[in-house]
Structure formats: C-alpha cells, structure tokens
Amino acid sequence: MPLESETEHKSGEKVDKGGGVAAVERAFAILNAFRASDTSLTLNEIALRTGMYKSTILRLIATLVQEHCIVRLDDGSYQLGSMLLHWGGLFQASLRLDDHVPPILRRLVQETEEGASFFTREGNLRVCLFRVDSPRSIRDHIRTGDLLPLDRGAAGRVLASFDRTINPPDSFPEDPCIVTVGEREPDIAAIAAPVFGPRDTLRGALAISGPAGRFSGDLVPGLAQAVLKAAADLTRRLGGDSSRLERADRGGVPPAAG
C-alpha cells in the first residue's frame, strides 16, 4: 500500500498528495541533504538527515550515481556529482535579471503601494536598473538609469554593507533590512534589503521609497516584511541562499536617519 502521504497514480507510480512523483521528491531530498560544509556523507548520515530507510536511499542513489548527480567514493561515502555543476552552468548562462526582477517589483508595489527599485553598484555610485512607480500621485520620483549616492539612502547602505568583495560575510549587519528617513531627500524614506546570487554574491539591493509620512513607526515593520519577502524570493530565483532574509524578524526598527 502507498504511504499515508502518497496516492496511486494511474500509471502505477506512487505520487504524494501534492502531485509530485514520490521517487523524484525522495531523490531531491537526498541531494538536499548535502550542505556547503560537507566534504562527503555516509549512508548513515544521509538516512539521519532525510528520515528515509537505507534500502530506499541505496536504490535511489544507484540512479543518481548513474546520472553523475552523486559520486560514490572508495571509502563508501558519497559526494555530489559533476552533473550538478553542469546544471548550475546552464542555469547561470540562461539567467536574465529582466525575467525575474520586474515581476517581483510589481508585486511589491501592489503590496505596499510605494515605488519599488532594484539597484546595483557602479563604482562609488548606485544605478537603478529596474523601477516600478507607486500608483499614488505623491511619490518618490526615481527613473531607470538614475545614478544616486552610495553613502546615502537605504539601497546605498545595503550595497555598501553586504558586498563581500569589500566586507567579509561575518562582518555583515545582523539585520539585512535597512531603513532610512531623509538621507537622500529631506522628505523621502526608504527600506531596502540585499539580493544574493550563488556563493553569497551580492546581486543588488531591492528597495521601496516614498514620502516619509507614509513610513511612520507603526507602518515600518509591515513594509519591511514585504521588502524582505520580496528580496528572499528574488534571491531564490537567482540561485542564492535566502536563509538570512527569511530569518530576519523586523519587530520594530528605528530609521537609520531622522
């Protein structure tokens, strides 16, 4: 009989209630058991991390080894295989910011009703690569292509703080979300968070901005959560680790500048 979480597909394959083929999900669970700090994993370690029977793991690993997704070492332990590197190269070669950033910005504007921007570093400045305006008549006026200071404004602070080519990751601020009021323009406030790619590479800063009166203390936590959620989503789409963003708890954050 199928496990409780599975049903029988008309083809005879076991599928879970979410519609995924159980064998595929278990294979992915094995691959996801590996962490950046692992040189290799034993069968026992994989079983502990996945909660699967060793017999099931061995059956699936045989296929993963055949497809070069996993390598079996001479001591009997396992490493991730070269096929994953090949897939990673294909992913990076096909990745275009244009496909991923604008939809995230549009959703963020719908949620917050504030203008949303994506910035990258350009020397000692930051450039707005993508922008979606607020639907409100009174708003922050930023255009795609605008060059703004790196040392003023939430997005600039994010780009300066989370660039691992300048600062080691262990020196990154504990809170990935930065709030500023009146830094770039006296009556403008902004909230920004970093967006990461593979190997914690900083891909840019995601920000919302608008009149400071709409960023009052009791509204900041909700706006910040929306920015963090969007930055985490974009980070995942770009192949980065979003855990830092997902763990962040806003709770009530004072602005960096009054």
CA distance 173 to 175: 5
pLDDT in tens, 119-136: 999 888 999 999 999 999
Half-sphere exposure of 62 (CA within 13 A, CB side): 5
Domains of the chain: 6-92 (1.10.10.10), 95-247 (3.30.450.40)
38-64 mean pLDDT: 93
CA distance 247 to 59: 35
Torsion of CA 60, 62, 67, 70, to 10 degrees: 80
161, 173 in Cβ contact below 8 A?
yes
Greatest mean pLDDT among 138-142, 162-166, 183-187, 189-193 lies in 189-193
The answer to whether 218 and 255 have CB atoms below 8 angstroms apart is: no
CA–CA dist 158, 175 (Å, integer): 11
Q: Would you state the structure tokens that stand for residue 159, as one six-digit string? A: 């780009």
Would the pTM count as exceeding 0.95?
A: no
Q: What pLDDT score does 173 carry?
A: 73
The amino acid at 11 = S
